[in-house]
Structure 1
Amino acid sequence: MPGAVAVLDVGKTNVKLVAFSRDGTILEQLRHPQHVATENGLRVLDVDGIFGWLEAALADLRRRRDLSGIMISTHGCAYALLADDLTLAAPIVDYEQEIPAAANAEFARVTPAFTETYTPELPGGLNFARTIFFQEWADPTLSARVRHILTYPQYWTWRLSGALASEISFLGCHSHMWNPLAGRFSALAVNRGWAEKFPPFAPAGALVGEREGFGVHNGVHDSNAAFFYYKSLGFSHFTLISSGTWVIIFNPDCPLDRLDPARDMLANVTVDGEPVATIRFMGGREYDVISGHARQEVSEDMLRRAIARDQMALPSFAAGGPFPARAGRLVGPAPESAAERAAIATLYVAMMTAQSLDLVSSTGDIILDGGLALNGALCATLAALRPEQSLYRNTNAEGTAMGAAALAFRALGRASVFPRDVGKVEPWPLPDLAGYYARWRERA
């Protein structure tokens, strides 16, 4: 179909290249596993491996499709430091890299107030200003060698086209770099000399360069792309649950003064520069840990049995989230099969999601997007836990990539006409689910 757009969607676990027509049809989808390497004792992203795969995949896709351009969405908390000769001045650090205690102690003395950046203190490199600070702390010559700081989607925009740009939704993603209420760089970013190293801003989706005759669009933070997608479909006053490795919950109707930084609550910034209350936990990762990576379909009877036996997983099985100081554990009779582990994991993610919805004051419609939207048992359980709210899910699980494509089409002046393809979830009648949730909350 003429004028299709390809989306490079770089997640924490997988990298995808998805081609979309203007009507939202997925024409093709190619996948590549994400890889984290080690360099000088640091966890670093294998960007050369991704780029080698991307070049081959894109050339193959262009032989079969008439692409007008490529758009990028990526997970948060990664960035590239470019030297004067436009080579990497340092490797791109994975956000799960631990930061030494001495560097953390020094960073704590300059960390902005929560009410300036609406960024909580998160572990590892989940505040990317902390990671830049650590790299400069470890190598005092680094700052003088860095000419440009590129956020991760913009690194791929540059790698594909040579265009240098910045973008608001990624910079405002719990980075400590941005003041969302004032709409400017934080005092930390200015005082450290970082603000002046970011290239000029361009809107997410803007056509900023080209590669071999087709356009390269300015990239976007992945969960913000999903949020834009559902707004573009006409939803309003809704809570978005964007899921994958992380479960990230946006509620634009929650006042920012209700955010508790100790519980991984923060303000994201939308593609249009608006702050939006957010809470997060690593739900996809935790599901895999609890279930033992089981790919077992969970039935209503399996959930009823786990509830009746009071089999529970209590938080947390990954860093961050609303219970950051707790170590995950199982209570009740030990699971005896993959099916039982999958049922317990499903209930755990449903409990954590319901708790997060409470914390972020969600009362309107809920939209579940991403990988967990394919888990019918989880959706039906969550619908049963929120009887006063309507829960919808996108069963193609590609809201992030679709939002990125819609941004590119908007920039081209060809508004996307994606279908409003979300279905309402009917709750399962699970006896004593409310009691199970109350017991879970008390124990958690």
Structure 2
Amino acid sequence: MNVVAIFDIGKTNKKVFLFNENYKIVWEKSVNLEETADEDGFPCEDIEVLKNWVLDRLSEIKELKDYVLKAINFSTYGASFVYIDENGKVLTPLYNYLKDYPEELKSHFYEKYKGEKKFAVKTASPVLGSLNSGMQIYRLKEQKPEIFENVKYCLHLPQFLSFLLTNEAYADITSIGCHTNLWNFKKMKYHKWLKEEGISGKIPPIHFGKDVIMTRDDLAIGVGLHDSSSAIIPYTINFTEPFVLLSTGTWSISLNPFNNKPLTFDESQNDCLCYMQYTEKPVKAARLFAGNEHEVQTKRLAQHFNVPVDTYKEVYFDKKIVANLRALNYQIFYPKKYNFDILKECPFQKRDLSHYKNYETAYHQLMLDLVEQQVFSTNLVIHNSPVKKIFVDGGFSKNSIYMNLLAEAFPDIEVYAASMAQASALGAALAIHDNWNPKPIQNDLIDLKFYKH
């Protein structure tokens, strides 16, 4: 059976899948690897351990008698650079994008390049410190010039994994185009600061996501994709009518591939950004820390009502409870004005839990508040674009309260829970489809469940 292998590298879970020609998963392995620490003691990915895991799994796959490996691709978390010298040796730890960024260095940078406001709009990158991966290169250059000197190439993580197998260094637009400070979205080319700082020579040429590198043993190897951009590929292939994908996990990210209006500064202040698709089209996106908030608040609820933490899994949508809560909130919170930023802070944080007679009612209130935040966030990317459908995937797509409230909040848009095994891995496989798979792509890759409002 012909297969493609996809390494799907998340911050916590590392997975590898084999997909057959119908894009069904036929074999998989996953692992949580121990982190290490960088020279400042900050936790980070152990690049050696990761490298060995990838190579070991590959050897294992090649030994499997039932499968013929035709192609390999990678989808990994973004915002992380691997620096290699001319012999391909890794020169630094894989710095964590959550690491604090030196304030002085940051303000010096933005002063030099026309200030945060202009720069953020041009590069579609809210000011996020280390999460703007270009700033990691700038930091290396300023703080460790002797190491920077020896850097032949700065590779985003997906491209480094591809390099491991091909020994060819490339850049990829989905990794460059996600809040990295590297790309000028107005001119659709690298921002000029890279040249001025002597960095552009250390960024390898761009390689297109749909093209592959052929190895001596006839393997087609992709150059790798940023996982958020990869996860949208199955949808853009399956649906032509304008839609928004609401990808839910720790972050809830609303992605609109049909909104190509340039990012405004206000949007960037509201945690909007642009991602690049592998087809080089920008995707307007808005982020909300909703999954994290849900985790924090369900712990608080469990403590208050003295029940197990996962009790919410047994709570189903109840119209009556919602109507009662709305009547109650109408009296307290009307006209609806919050004296805080609804995107940064969930209204539920301020609610007194003793007002709720039981867990079920309080949990419905939490979901009302989270969905209210979500509607605000998603509307930032729907704004002025002809969206007909919203697809929700990830954790919240399985939550009946969330889905029903969301459908009700968007009466003119069809809302679906979408389930698909491993969207970002599947996207990376589909991106290189033409290079390994003779069959046409089927249109049943995504299971949809419609929610009436």
What band does the TM-score fall into relative to the shorter chain? 0.7 to 0.9
Partner of residue 70, structure 2: 68
- Whole-angstrom CA distance in 1 between matches of 2:171 and 2:142: 25
1:294 aligned residue (310, 331, 355) = 310
Task: Choose 68-77 or 243-252, whichever is displaced more.
Answer: 243-252
1:203-231 deviations in whole A, cap 9, x for unaligned?
11422254866332111111211222211
Answer 1 or 2: which has greater helix percent.
2
Deviation at 1:59, TM superposition (A): 3.4
Largest Rg, 1 or 2? 2
What does 1:70-89 align with in structure 2 at a 5 Å threshold?
A: 70-89=72-91
* Structure 2 counterpart of 1:50: 50
- In the other structure, the counterpart of 1:433 is none
State the secondary structure of the residue aligned to 2:112.
coil
Higher mean Cα deviation, 61-70 or 156-165? 61-70
Residue 31 of structure 1 aligns to a residue whose secondary structure is strand
Match of 1:196 in 2: 201
After superposition, residues 126-137 of structure 1 pair within 5 angstroms as 126-137=131-142
Matches within 5 A, 1:142-157: 142-157=147-162
2:374 to 353, 372, 383: 353
Q: Secondary structure at the match of 1:357?
A: helix
Match of 1:180 among 185, 201, 221: 185
2:343 aligns with one of 309, 323, 326: 323
- Comparing 26-35 with 336-345, greater Cα deviation is found at 336-345
Which residue of 2 is the match for residue 92 of structure 1?
94
Please state how far the C-alpha of 1:176 moved relative to its aligned partner.
0.7
Amino acid at match of 2:444: P
Query: What's the counterpart of residue 231 of structure 1?
Result: 236
Tell me the distance in 1 between the aligned counterparts of 2:220 and 2:322: 52
Q: Structure 2 length normalisation: TM-score?
A: 0.82
Is 1:215–2:240 an aligned residue pair? no
- Give aligned pairs, total: 418
Structure 2 CA distance, aligned partners of 1:19 and 1:325?
A: 41
Q: Deviations over 1:368-406 (max 9, x none)?
A: 223433334322332222221111232234222211111
Would the alpha carbon gap of residues 15 and 361 (structure 1) be closer, same or farther in structure 2, given more than 3 Å must change? same
1:65 to 1:114, Cα distance in 2 relative to 1, 3 A: same
Counterpart CA distance in 2 for 1:144 and 1:251 is 40
Could you say if the C-alpha distance between residues 65 and 139 of structure 1 is closer, same or farther in structure 2, counting changes exceeding 3 Å? Answer: same
Mark the CA change 1:350 to 1:18 in structure 2 (over 3 Å): closer, same or farther. farther
Tell me how far apart the structure 2 counterparts of residues 309 and 272 of structure 1 sit (CA, whole Å). Answer: 46
Aligned with residue 396 of structure 1, among 413, 420, 425 = 420
Q: Structure 1: any 5+ residue segments left out of the alignment?
A: 313-320, 429-444
Do the aligned residues in 2 keep the contact of 1:368 with 1:393 (CA within 8 Å)? yes
Q: Secondary structure at the match of 1:109?
A: helix
Query: Are the equivalent residues in 2 in contact too, given 1:246–1:284 (CA < 8 A)?
Result: yes
SS for the counterpart of 1:273 is coil
Larger deviation: 202-211 or 85-94? 202-211
Q: Does the Cα contact within 8 Å between 1:183 and 1:273 map onto a contact in 2?
A: no
Separation in structure 2 between the aligned mates of residue 301 and residue 383 of structure 1, nearest angstrom: 12
Match of 1:419 in 2: 444
Cα root mean square deviation, aligned:
3.1
1:227-266 Cα shifts (integer Å, max 9, x gaps): 2221111333111112333222122343225561111112
Deviations 1:406-440 (A, max 9, x none): 11213436453352533133147xxxxxxxxxxxx
| Residue from 375, 385, 396 that aligns with 2:399 | 375
Deviation at residue 154 of structure 1 after TM alignment? 0.2
**d(CA) in 1 for partners of 2:399 and 2:199?**
42
State the percentage of identical aligned residues: 21
Which of residues 244, 249, 274 is equivalent to 1:244?
249
Residue 436 (structure 1) aligns with: none
**Once the two structures are superposed, what CA deviation does each residue of 1:262-315 show, in whole Å capped at 9, x if it has no partner?**
111122211111222211123333332332373741533578658845899xxx
Instruction: For 1:215 and 1:161, locate their aligned partners in 2 and report how far apart those are by CA, in whole Å.
Output: 10
Which deviates further from its counterpart, 15-24 or 47-56?
47-56
CA deviation after TM superposition for structure 1 residue 135, in Å: 2.6
CA distance in 2, matches of 1:272, 1:57: 30
Superposition deviation, residue 173 in structure 1 = 0.6
Higher mean displacement: 89-98 or 409-418: 409-418
Q: Is the 8 A contact 2:316 2:400 kept in 1?
A: no
Letter in 1 for 2:349: R
TM-score normalised by L of structure 1: 0.83
